[in-house]
Structure 1
Amino acid sequence: MEFVPGSTAMDAFGGSQVHGGAIPQEYRAKFHEDIAKIQTNMTSVRFPQIGMISQRENGNYDIDAIPGIGGPFGTAKDFFLAWADNAKFPMTDTLIRSQLSQLPLGMAEEIITSIHNFPLLFKEAVGRMSFREGPFPLHHPDFNHSNIIIDDAHRILSVIDWEGASTVPWEIVEFPMFLFTVPPPIDVPSKYDSAGNPISSEIQRRWEERLEYVESVKRVEEREYTDSRLSNTLACRDTQNLATSLRLYADVGKVGYYCRLLE
């Protein structure tokens, strides 16, 4: 894996980018195994603080403040408190209402209220929560198909577009983006049965792929590392719900019942 801050897709030589769900089914298991090794290697690169990765003139890497949040932070708690103070949902109420126009008015207003109240209620919850201590893992801001270079045999050549690379709390580490699912607490309740399992066969398959991916990470950790921080983080449903929800709130503007995450 090559780590070059500021690199882009133009850095690819002799390979092609993977877009969307373009990995054929017969290659997918091996592809996920290889990605698990890359992510395990990536999160094994750890720093004592949380912040943006910067390269100094002497070639060494250091940690700087995160735009819009601040830092560097010495603890995950400090990071989350700053996140709550600065988080802004990137969508107006008018636009939210237009997206929810098919819902009963009361339900739409409940969702809008949940979005507005989430940062303050999350900040209050942070004081009651416990977080993992550092050192903190290296984080790729868009660990997705489109930033993975493969050859004709679907072997991975490199991961690109490291601009915006940072270190993050362990509680923010997610699955690769191609294994993304909306956290059930913020999602439409009708998508799940009484036991909390997804009704959609597509979501069911994604959940199965995520379980298989965790097992792949465990195998890498057992062979090459002395801790299981990554697999434990990915296997914890509450942690994944939190990590994905924070990203969807501030970076994406995904409409949802965010305050239900805290229940």
Structure 2
Amino acid sequence: MSSTSDAPRKRRPSERWTSFDDWNYDGMKERLEGFMASINKKSLTAHAEAVLNSPLSMSDAFSAGQYWCCFELVAPDSRLIIARVRLPKHPNSSASDADEEYLIQCEAATMKFVQANVATIPVPTLYACEMPGSPRAAEAGAAYILIEGFYGNAVQDINHSIYDLPNSTQERLIAQWTSFQAELAAFTFPRIGSISQFSPDTGATVGKLATASADSLAIAGPFQSGRDYLVAVAEARLNQELHRKNSDSETDDFTALGFLVFRNIVRDTNIFKGDQGPFHFNHMDMGIQNILVDDDFNIIAVIDWEFAQSAPWEVICYPMPISIINSDEEIKEILGNPGHIGHRNVSRQAATRGLYRQKFKEAESALMARGRPLRVSIAETLEGKASRIYGLAEKLGIFKGMAEDLTYEMLRLGHGLTGLEAKRHLEKVKAEANGAFDTSMSH
């Protein structure tokens, strides 16, 4: 008979948090250090203790992103609270204080909406939301939210490659992952925007989009056309990249060109047909970095609802690490040649891509059986040109050295251009856009 000491130990999130590691670039570490010196951790702890009616201890390790820093607080009975504290505005952000408050407001409203309407999606309980200017936020030194903590970590922090998981574990993880997205997509709204308010009595209110880009006002919305929204997104990201290029000579030229190519395809072709709605609800960042799992890779929570919104169906695309750079013809050729240097990786990517799509089909069938059919098939959307082009554009600027390949694949899908034709087209686009680039920078 095994003793209780043989039971697997529950791993706290902070055990994998990296604090200041990986932040020593562009003054980001100094930004974090300044933030840490200004935060009243005792005030945060006292508020969390009042919520749980229990003493709590705060972890030394923390987790930081672009907009939030997380501290872990644990009670003697092992209950967890995460204090998610708002970082000072990113140096490249032109968002106003009102925009910053709206972001927090939208995240809180979205979490309440999902918890009230989708019991199958594990969303952290929101215990408190202290907006900028509230007495508690002033005492703590920043706006913050207190949310339920879980014994687990993001898939990305545990295992960067879902390909290395046992087949049964990978299938179970992807089945949960896709079913959550399908459940959200069953909710539709007449306009594209963020949930700005929610109450059980009045339901959800969709307002402007909660954005934190360098040109947040350019995509404030709300929008009534999918094409108008995607053009605005492309132009905002193009301007953001031009702003970055102006201050960093090492920025990849192809990233800005890629966003320009994406904008032109959306605006000038019939691939993005200007869907007039209704528009599905989407987390917008439900990747392996925002899915918390236990040690058996069961999903225990989906986090970071800040940019969730109603959106065009084309924004549903294959996530990383499922590669979409290679054309179907290239994939078929590599799969047919076991001696090819990329055969193993492409085989795993193709299998995972097929599984991801199959699990969406199953999730759609389950919703249909429950009388909640999706207006558009996600499984079919994933294989369409629009979804694949959007997915390519989403990866621009994220992975160094990939922008050129991403841009040429968008040209192939959007205009049918390859090789020398594609290069000539890109040079023409670049030449025609020089004046526009200068104009954008002058504004």
Q: Where does residue 237 of structure 2 map in the other structure?
A: 87
Q: Tell me whether 1:55 sits opposite 2:194 in the alignment.
A: no
Task: Tell me the TM-score normalized by structure 2.
Answer: 0.47
Deviation at 1:76, TM superposition (A): 0.6
- Aligned-partner Cα distance in 2 for 1:211–1:194: 13
Aligned to 2:287: 144
Identify the range of structure 1 (196-205 vs 138-147) with the bigger mean alpha-carbon deviation.
196-205
Show CA shifts across 1:57-80 (max 9, x none). Answer: 777322222332121011212212
**Match for residue 77 of structure 1 among 223, 227, 232:** 227
1:239 to 386, 394, 398: 386
Match of 1:106 in 2: none
Check 1:21–1:128 CA distance in 2 against 1; reply closer, same or farther (3 A cut): closer
Provide the rounded CA distance (Å) in 2 between the counterparts of 1:194 and 1:158.
34
Amino acid in structure 1 at the alignment position of 2:298? R
Report the 3-state secondary structure (helix = DSSP H, G, I; strand = E; otherwise coil) of the residue aligned with 2:249.
Answer: helix
Provide the rounded CA distance (Å) in 1 between the counterparts of 2:361 and 2:271. Answer: 30
> Is residue 2:378 matched to residue 1:230?
yes
Q: Which residue type is aligned with residue 234 of structure 1? A: L
* Cα distance change, pair 47–3 in 1 and its aligned pair in 2 (3 A): farther
* Candidates 354, 358, 373, aligned match of 1:215: 358
Counterpart position of 2:50: none
How far apart, CA to CA, are the structure 1 residues paired with 2:351 and 2:263? 34
8 Å Cα contact 1:179-1:209 kept in structure 2: no
- TM-score, normalised relative to structure 1: 0.74
Task: Indicate if the aligned counterparts of 1:87 and 1:250 stay in contact, CA closer than 8 A.
Answer: no
* Offset of residue 10 of structure 1: 5.8
Q: Which has the larger radius of gyration?
A: 2
Q: How does 1:32-181 map to 2 (within 5 A)?
A: 32-56=174-198, 60-66=203-209, 67=211, 68=216, 69-88=219-238, 90=241, 91-92=244-245, 94-96=249-251, 111=254, 114-115=257-258, 117-118=260-261, 121-122=264-265, 124-126=267-269, 129-175=272-318, 177-181=319-323
RCO comparison, higher one (Cα < 8 Å, 6+): 1
- Shift of the 180–12 alpha-carbon distance from structure 1 to 2, 3 Å rule, reads farther
Q: Which deviates more from structure 2 when the two are superposed, residues 130-139 or residues 18-27?
A: 18-27
5+ residue gaps, structure 2, are 1-120, 130-143, 416-443
* Contact 1:48–1:135 (CA under 8 A) maintained in structure 2: yes
Counterpart secondary structure, 1:145: coil
Gaps of 5+ in 1: 98-108, 186-191
- The amino acid that maps onto 1:245 is L
What is the CA–CA distance in structure 2 between the aligned matches of 1:117 and 1:146, rounded to whole Å? Answer: 28
Identity of aligned residues (%): 19
1:255 is the counterpart of 2:403: yes
